[in-house]
Every structure is written in C-alpha cells, then in structure tokens.
Amino acid sequence: DPCRNFHCKRGKVCHADEQEKPSCICQDPAACPSTKDYEHVCGTDNKTYDGTCQLFGTKCQLEGTKMGRQLHLDYMGSCKYIPHCTDYEVDQFPLRMRDWLKNILMQYYERDLDTSGFLTEKQRSKVKKIYQNEKRLMAGDHPVELLLHDFEKNYQMYVYPVHWQFYQLDQHPGNRLLTHSELAPLRASLVPMEHCITRFFQECDGDKDKLISLKEWCHCFGIKR
C-alpha cells in the first residue's frame, strides 16, 4: 500500500494515482466515519460538526478562501450560547486557572503512585514538593478571595504548574512561542466550562503578533519571573 507510511495533515487523506504515487487530497466530509453526540465539535463559524474529521475536511475544501482561513475548531461539543466575558470575570480567570493547573498535576502525581507514566522523573520530584506541602489548598470550588489569598501566601506552589502547562502546549515546534494551533487543545476543551478563556488568551498576546511567548504567558498568570 503506497499510502501506508505517507502522512497527511489534518483534513487531508492519502490518495494513490494510477502509477501508485501517493499524494494528499482533501478529506470528503461526507465520507467521515459516524460519531457519537459527545464527539461533536463547534467550529468558529458557529456550526456544529459531527467530529474533527468533518470540520477539518470542510476547512480543507475551503482552502484558499477567506472562509477557509477563518474556520478553526472553537470548542468541543455541539455549538451553544457562550455568554459574554466581563472585565471582572476575565480578571478572576487566572485565579481559577492556576488552581486548576495545580490540581491537574496533583491528580497526575496520585495516579503515578499506582501506575507510573503520567509525569517524568524530573516533573514528579517538582510536583512532590507541592503535593506534600501541608499549606496546599485542596481541590474544590473556592471563592475568589480565598484563591487570591492562597496565591499571595503560597506563590511558589503556582509557579511550576503555570510553566508546566506552557511546555505541554509548546510542542510543534518547541520554540517558547504558542501558536493558535498549539493553544487549541486546551482552549477547545475548556470553552464550554470557562467562557473567558478565549478573551484571556487574546489579551495575553500583548504585542498582538498572534503568538504567546513564555514571558507573556507568565505575565498573564501573575508569575513575576
């Protein structure tokens, strides 16, 4: 099979011509495998797609057009009403996000106690210090005042989780700059629960170059160094 080890980017599939020469062509959205309701996604055109295969196949077919350039994955799940993010809400967002990142690492650490593989050895040693800290705020739905107080009192606990998330996203390529595509996995999964995440990332890009540097990322989360 000439297509066996021939890779195409999202939205395209391999096709072999009569001479068995492989090339990438747009995925036919109608030929995408059927999906469950929970696999539906919402595009930036505010249309619900049956899955990412259908969304990126549609984007590929619109390649070269303004609509194609503007079409991206907005968030996971069917399209729904996303409320406007107020100035007050976007100011509070980093408090909840920092706490959430810290607790994600705590969950990974606990899982690693039974089955290793979630964190590297170096990551585990850093997270262990936070996990064993008696002053650590346990996971829960905490009021904004408590989250702010905890960040001021236990600042060092929040530095590593913020850095860790940046480097988890900074993969293609790893250059200390986050593109729209690199942010997409985090943003798309959180939009339905955290409607301020889109505005938060837009405002993180201080120089408006459509890239978020490590310095900009840390500044947004209140990390001083």
Q: Which CATH number characterizes residue 108's domain?
A: 1.10.238.10
- Check residue 211 and give its pLDDT: 96
Identify whether residues 122 and 52 lie together within a single domain. Answer: no
Residue given tokens 């100011």 in the structure block: 91
Q: What per-residue string of b and e applies to 90-128 under the rule 16 or more CB within 10 Å gives b?
A: beebbbbbbbebbbebbebbeebeeeeeebeeebbebbe
Percentage of the chain modeled with pLDDT above 70:
100
- Domain with 20, as residue range(s), is 12-76
Could you report how far apart the first and last alpha carbons of the chain are, in Å?
52
**Which of these three, 76, 99, 117, is where a domain ends?**
76
The tokens for 197 are: 């995440």
State the pLDDT at residue 174. Answer: 85
Write down which residue in 76, 101, 131 finishes a domain: 76
Q: Give pLDDT, residue 180.
A: 86
Identify the CA nearest to 203 among candidates 100, 101, 102, 89. Answer: 89
Q: Which residue has the tokens 């408006």?
A: 208
For residue 172, pLDDT beyond 90: no
Separation of alpha carbons 190 and 106, rounded Å: 19
What mean pLDDT do residues 168-174 have?
88
Assess whether 97 and 194 both reside in one domain.
yes
At 54 the pLDDT is: 97
Query: Nearest Cα to 103, choosing from 126, 131, 142, 133?
Result: 131
- Interval 77-131: pLDDT, tens: 999 999 999 999 999 999 999 999 999 999 999 998 877 788 999 999 999 999 9
Residue 174: inside a domain, yes or no?
yes
What pTM value is reported for the model? Answer: 0.81
Q: pLDDT tens digits for 45-92?
A: 999 999 999 999 999 999 999 999 999 999 999 999 999 999 999 999
Among candidate residues 76, 105, 126, the one where a domain is terminated: 76
